[in-house]
Structure 1
Amino acid sequence: MLNQALRTLDGEVIINMGFFLHDLHKQIEQLHQAQVSNYRRKPFVVYRGQGLSKTDFDQLSKTIGGLLSFNNFLSTSIKQEKSLEFTYNALGDPDKVCVLFVITIDPNIGTTPFASIGDFSYFEGEAEILFSMHSVFRVGTIRQVGDKSKLYHEVQLQLTADDDPQLRVLTDRIESEVQGSTGWERLGHLLLKLGQLDKAEELYTVLLEQASDNNDRAHYYHQLGCLKYSQGDYKMAIEYYEKVLEIQEKTLPSNHPDLATSYNNIGAVYMSMGEYSKALSFYEKTLEIFQKTLPSNHPSLATSYSCIGLVYYNMGEYSKALSFYEKTLEIFQKTLPSNHPSLATSYNNIGLVYKNMGEYSKALSFYEKALEIREKTLPSNHPDLATSYNNIGGVYHNMGEYSKALSFYEKALGIREKTLPSNHPSLATSYNNIGGVYYNTKDYSKALTYFERALDIWQRALPANHPNIKTVKESIEICKRAMKK
């Protein structure tokens, strides 16, 4: 049950059996230290037989030379024939691939602890070697062996050293991105990083139920708010963020940075809901705290100016938007390298304002500055590149250069179709824009197709009163009338 919970990231079971996880790991460590001299400093081989799903096997086949980690306690045997029995258990299952892992262990290097548990195992005669959680192996060769009736794949693995350079780089990167004062917090952050939102929600819900003080409750409410925001469940995100704010306003001074974070988070949700006046109110509370507590060129101030600029942009108050965006750019130009992604975002935002003010040459200039940075620093399918292509397409669209507009819109759509879920609002934006080009070139049939795709997504992803839904419905009706003429 425990290994199943670890493999499927079952938060409730992992939390409730946390004491057992700790004790089992410690016992393996103690046995490892007591037994290591028995290996006489000579490498040896253990085996593990199992059936892998075809998807997992395909992924494994692509990682030859790379690293493989098991997120559970790993049972192996020094007896090949005993392990093959488990391999053959998958014979006849069309969804499984029979695999025998052949694992080479060098006892001279520091690794994840492992221990012989033959004297403790329920299964006598298996000569079992048990590895603690998250053992990491280097993947060697993979070859098909056996006779026609019992074909299986033999996968060579090498237990990696703790100081393996590739493993160290990967571990350091993960540790820098997944921080927290407790193991549970780090696990929650890791699940969010992996996109395992349902598992993260399960974990944080259990932790919230067990929380004994307001600081912990505020943290878990905050994480659940972030999670719901990522899922597009804006109503629940607001509820969680307001619970955080309720605790903080009772316990923190009025200019505390955590209060600024909460105001900003609530503002961001209202922004996504299209409730711009509410968003502005919360963003201004954030800015007020930052202006009192931070130096004038602090990056958080730049971010706050940018958020307010975005609200004014969406409210159609372009001169105010430009003023705040220029404050952001001024800070970034003083504090960031010339090819920093945040500078690209700042150029992009100013370009947006100029486009909507009808100053297309200025808009194009800023958009191209943003694109230049992004093409130098980002992978070819990065969503920010899609944004740049989309925006440049928009300028050409407004200038009446429809073939150029369509070319850039299609570049944006190509990235978004490869990287986003099929109901993502940004896909709807691309469909809507391409529909607009086809409408302007009087290809009403194609225009209608793209507008309807946009509407289908926006109706599922946005509140019913969102302005995008109203606009695309109007475009559909105009198209239908044009087709009847």
Structure 2
Amino acid sequence: MNFSKTTPTQELSFETLIAFRTFINDLCNQLQNLQEDAALRNLSKITRVYRGQLMSNIELERIQSSISSYISMNSFLSTTVDRDLALFLIESAATSVSAPVENALKPVLFDIEIDPSSSRNVKPFADISSQSYFQTEKEVLFMIGSVFKIEKVTEVVDDRGTGSWTINLLLCSSKEHQLEQLVSYLNDKITKYKPKFIAIAHLLIDMGEYR
């Protein structure tokens, strides 16, 4: 299963989280190690990444109505530092779907800004090119639970009248003022239950994501 192919608005089910919890934990640890190694070797900091995909009208409208709100990723998020590659992936995805489906989907480019000054307080993310089979993709992977602020949503229409969308996100830490109360609540909720997967189930039920 390729978690990185899950779209930002899709979620890993409770069953999937439990079934792959060991793998997910191992991948999170590897991301942490790669991030720390990059810092120790004083590698150039990643300040902007991109993700190209098709998105349903419903998902796009939901994000449009949530400007200045926060979105938390319930899956690993695959991005690239190469904007042209992200745009190419959008075109490739569009040509692989049938016309009726294409009309229901919008080409979307996620433009994600990373503030180096706050990158220590965020969920781990790292350039995994050296670990990837497709090294030319210059992939940067974000851990489950990464939080982003929706800054802006804009439509661009080309000379042919074809519209595409750009969604600007800002990587945030749980220290953001608006998130502190939520993080505190979630931490309290988790400590109530043992083992932890029971806590996850209760959180999903509270959110209306699992029945």
If the TM-score is normalised by the length of the shorter chain, which range does it land in? Answer: 0.7 to 0.9
Per-residue CA distance 1:84-109 (angstroms, 9 max, x = gap): 12223247512212110100112221
2:88 corresponding residue in structure 1: 85
Per-residue CA distance 1:317-370 (angstroms, 9 max, x = gap): xxxxxxxxxxxxxxxxxxxxxxxxxxxxxxxxxxxxxxxxxxxxxxxxxxxxxx
Q: CA RMSD in A?
A: 2.2
- SS in structure 1 opposite 2:150? strand
Work out the CA distance in 1 between the residues paired with 2:206 and 2:109: 31
Contact 1:50–1:99 (Cα < 8 Å) also in 2: yes
Counterparts of 1:78-477 in structure 2, within 5 Å, are 78-88=81-91, 89-90=93-94, 92=99, 93-109=102-118, 110-147=121-158, 148=160, 150-177=162-189, 179-198=192-211
Contact 1:137–1:158 (Cα < 8 Å) also in 2: yes
C-alpha distance 35-149 of structure 1, shift in aligned 2 (>3 A): farther
Work out the CA distance in 2 between the residues paired with 1:187 and 1:132: 17
- SS in structure 1 opposite 2:23? helix
TM-score (norm 2): 0.83
Per-residue CA distance 1:302-331 (angstroms, 9 max, x = gap): xxxxxxxxxxxxxxxxxxxxxxxxxxxxxx
Work out the CA distance in 2 between the residues paired with 1:180 and 1:90: 45
C-alpha distance 129-25 of structure 1, shift in aligned 2 (>3 A): same
- SS in structure 2 opposite 1:125? helix
Instruction: Please identify which structure carries the higher helix content.
Output: 1
| 2:112 is the alignment partner of 1:70 | no
1:39 corresponding residue in structure 2: 44
Contact 1:68–1:137 (Cα < 8 Å) also in 2: yes
> Which one-letter code corresponds to 2:171 in the other structure?
L
C-alpha distance 149-126 of structure 1, shift in aligned 2 (>3 A): farther
Work out the CA distance in 2 between the residues paired with 1:80 and 1:103: 11
2:15 corresponding residue in structure 1: 12
Gaps of 5+ in 2: none
C-alpha distance 184-14 of structure 1, shift in aligned 2 (>3 A): same
Work out the CA distance in 1 between the residues paired with 2:168 and 2:14: 32
C-alpha distance 85-24 of structure 1, shift in aligned 2 (>3 A): same
Work out the CA distance in 1 between the residues paired with 2:94 and 2:107: 6
- SS in structure 2 opposite 1:108? helix
2:58 corresponding residue in structure 1: 55
Runs of 4+ with deviation above 6 angstroms:
none
Shift of 1:193: 0.6
Work out the CA distance in 1 between the residues paired with 2:151 and 2:187: 27
| 2:21 is the alignment partner of 1:30 | no
Contact 2:110–2:166 (Cα < 8 Å) also in 1: yes
Work out the CA distance in 2 between the residues paired with 1:150 and 1:84: 14
Contact 2:12–2:74 (Cα < 8 Å) also in 1: no
Contact 1:69–1:135 (Cα < 8 Å) also in 2: yes
Contact 1:39–1:107 (Cα < 8 Å) also in 2: no
Work out the CA distance in 1 between the residues paired with 2:38 and 2:77: 18
TM-score (norm 1): 0.38
Contact 2:11–2:75 (Cα < 8 Å) also in 1: no
Shift of 1:196: 3.0
> Which one-letter code corresponds to 1:53 in the other structure?
S
> What's the % identity of the aligned pairs?
29
Answer 1 or 2: higher relative contact order, Cα 8 Å, separation at least 6. 2
C-alpha distance 30-197 of structure 1, shift in aligned 2 (>3 A): closer
Shift of 1:20: 0.5
> Which one-letter code corresponds to 1:184 in the other structure?
F
Instruction: Please identify which structure carries the higher strand content.
Output: 2
- SS in structure 2 opposite 1:48? strand
Contact 1:87–1:152 (Cα < 8 Å) also in 2: no
Per-residue CA distance 1:174-232 (angstroms, 9 max, x = gap): 3345542232011110121122344xxxxxxxxxxxxxxxxxxxxxxxxxxxxxxxxxx
Shift of 1:39: 2.7
